[in-house]
């Protein structure tokens, strides 16, 4: 039961990894950002007190970095399985309701997958392809294997390789 909950939190019904998304409030990025903020506590004051005049611009750079890091530490999305205001960060996504209707946890577990809803979703081609690829892998190998093979892959790596 514990591993199933972990998988349900980590992998959205569409096969995308919530756990590696910047919008996920319980994801790896949020957790690491919180840890960095903890480790950097007092650093701004240290810089303010110890930087020589010619390096004072570094204090402002740190403040900008810290402000951005706080945003990464406090995202709003609670995952699409949780619904409501804290639910899916993709407004109007049809998938959470669809998997409930079909009594499955992932699109790849559905007997109707791939279905016409994929093409009618209105998502970008790259998002649809990622959805199809991941869901097909879940269908073929199962969610446990899919999770193990993909849990450490950066969420946005495909954008880097364009």
For 21-79, write each residue's pLDDT tens digit: 998 888 999 999 999 999 999 999 999 999 999 999 999 999 999 999 999 999 988 88
Q: Is 112 helix (H, G, I), strand (E, B) or coil?
A: coil
Q: How far apart are CA 156 and CA 105, in angstroms?
A: 23
- Give the C-alpha distances (Å, rounded to integers) separating 5 from 17, 81, 88, 120: 14, 11, 17, 30
Grade residue 89 by pLDDT with cuts at 50, 70 and 90.
low
> What's this model's pTM, rounded to 2 decimal places?
0.80
- What pLDDT is recorded for position 13? 92
Q: Are the beta carbons of 95 and 101 closer than 8 angstroms?
A: no
The pair of three-digit structure tokens given for residue 87, joined into one six-digit string: 């639910």
Average pLDDT, the chain: 87
């Amino acid at each position: 039961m514990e591993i199933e909950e972990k998988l349900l939190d980590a992998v959205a019904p569409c096969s995308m990894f919530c756990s590696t998304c910047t919008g996920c409030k319980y994801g790896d990025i949020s957790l690491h950002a919180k840890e960095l903020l903890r480790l950097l506590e007092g650093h701004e004051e240290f810089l303010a007190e110890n930087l020589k005049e010619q390096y004072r611009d570094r204090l402002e750079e740190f403040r900008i970095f810290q402000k951005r890091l706080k945003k990464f530490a406090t995202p709003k999305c609670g995952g699409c399985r949780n619904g409501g205001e804290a639910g899916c960060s993709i407004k109007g996504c049809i998938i959470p309701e669809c998997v409930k209707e079909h009594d499955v946890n992932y699109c790849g577990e559905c007997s109707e997958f791939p279905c016409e809803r994929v093409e009618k979703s209105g998502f970008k081609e790259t998002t649809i392809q990622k959805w199809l690829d991941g869901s097909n892998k879940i269908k073929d190998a199962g969610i446990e294997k899919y999770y193990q093979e993909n849990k450490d892959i950066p969420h946005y790596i495909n954008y880097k390789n364009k």
